[in-house]
Amino acid sequence: MEKLVFPKDFVWGTATASYQVEGAAREGGRGECIWDVFARKPGAVNAGENGDVACDQYHRYEEDVALMAELGFNSYRFSIAWPRIIPTGSGKVNPEGVAYYRKLCDELHKHNIKACATLYHWDLPQVLEEKGGWADRGVLDAFEEYVKVCYETLGDVIDTWITINEPFCVAYLGYLWGVHAPGQRDLNKALAAVHHINMAHGIAVREYRKTKLKAPIGITYNPATPRPATSSAADARAADISRAFNTEVFMFPALGKGYPELVTKDLNLSFPVQSGDMQLIAQPIDFIGVNYYTEHAVAADEKAQFKTTNKPSWETTTAMGWPIVPGGLERQLLWINEVSNGIPIYITENGCAYDDVVAPDGRVHDKERIKYLHQHLAVCADVIKKGVPLKGYFVWSLMDNFEWAFGYGRRFGIIHIDFKTQKRTVKDSAYFLRDTIAGYGEL
């Protein structure tokens, strides 16, 4: 039996994102976003699904907040949909959109749950994509306008701000590999998107510091910190290159360390940096958010585009095909703590997909998820003892939802959703987390 023990003031949250849970895509004055358009592209999303209805949280937030409260969570990480706040990307503000997030926050506060808002979790207004999206520097003016509106209209009800969710996915999945909206495959655009998303983060922090708001502000990464497949020097270097390309190009500029030479010199890739950009990106932040799911083994491969290749893993995988590697979380947190010089860290996402079903007894017995969560939480408890300033943990996700290109075919929730009826069923893993939060987390 291993008991999970956490500090009294540890933050316990669940996480979601607007496009994945809200639905009401054509209600409340919301404008079109890149995922509305991408999902209509034949073959882009599994079974042609989309976020039009999703979990209908737009109409059911009271029920969802009540469930979080019942389970003992003290924070909810959600994202603000830019096209609900400014439907045309820049210009006129939509009061109905603002009102929705104010209602959500009021409901959270009524239940003593803090509101942790991500400013950008991938739903770029489509009109901005038509002007070049994140590959075009012009998007930054619109983003600045949007974040200022958020601070002005929601600043008094948000308790924690996250600027960007997973810049890696925005730049690479969206503009390099084309598996996420806007579905582009163009290295130059991807490198431009890397730089612009980094700048967007800097702008969001810079503008925030000009306000009188005092809530903490940070950024969420999905750092890939792969391990070398063998003990050869070549594979060790491959792991360094892979980490530089996947993670350091985002994290290092924000930490004032610039773009890594393994990318600019060894891979010979360049970013459209203009004078003053690097200073702008390197705004002091209050925390780093970490989304951790897995770790891969990589090897050197001179023929590969970025000189490294993923090797097969031996570990059991989740329904995403992702190897379960709790030890990778420990390695990653220790590394982040080292490179960031002790900035507070939050796990802003951790979780797993399984093919959960409601059993004849009306319950969801997701034993594999409980094991996964226990293993990763054990690492969290342990690194705190080793001196890592880990301040909180948000499980991904509060509920099964629209899993991007996989549609509704992957269930990450601790609450099961019947997408036909919108019935919510609390899974066993949610009760496990409830007990862990209460101090009885043991297996």
Residues that bind ligand IFM (CB under 6 A): 17, 20, 166, 222, 291, 349, 396, 403, 412
**Which CB, 228 or 289, lies closer to ligand IFM?**
289
Active site residue 49: no
Compute the least distance from the CB of residue 396 to ligand IFM, in Å. Answer: 5
Q: Are 135 and 175 in contact (CB under 8 A)?
A: yes
Q: Are 139 and 195 in contact (CB under 8 A)?
A: no
**Which CB, 350 or 425, lies closer to ligand IFM?**
350
**Which CB, 17 or 81, lies closer to ligand IFM?**
17
Catalytic one of 129, 166, 295, 330:
166
Positive/negative CA dihedral, 415, 44, 52, 19:
positive
Active site residue 2: no
Q: Which residues pair with 11 in a beta bridge?
A: 392
**Which CB, 173 or 229, lies closer to ligand IFM?**
173
* Bond into 253 cis (ω within 30): no
Binding residues: 20, 121, 165, 293, 396, 403-404
Q: Are 384 and 7 in contact (CB under 8 A)?
A: yes
Residues 278 and 281: their CA atoms lie apart, in Å, by 5
Binding residues for substrate: 20, 121, 165, 293, 396, 403-404
Residue 194 token pair = 């890397």
Compute the least distance from the CB of residue 441 to ligand IFM, in Å. Answer: 23
Residues 249 and 191: their CA atoms lie apart, in Å, by 10
Compute the least distance from the CB of residue 121 to ligand IFM, in Å. Answer: 6
Residues 432 and 443: their CA atoms lie apart, in Å, by 9
Compute the least distance from the CB of residue 352 to ligand IFM, in Å. Answer: 9
Beta strands in 154-295 (DSSP E): 160-165, 217-221, 227-228, 287-292
Tell me which residues are annotated as active site.
Answer: 166, 349
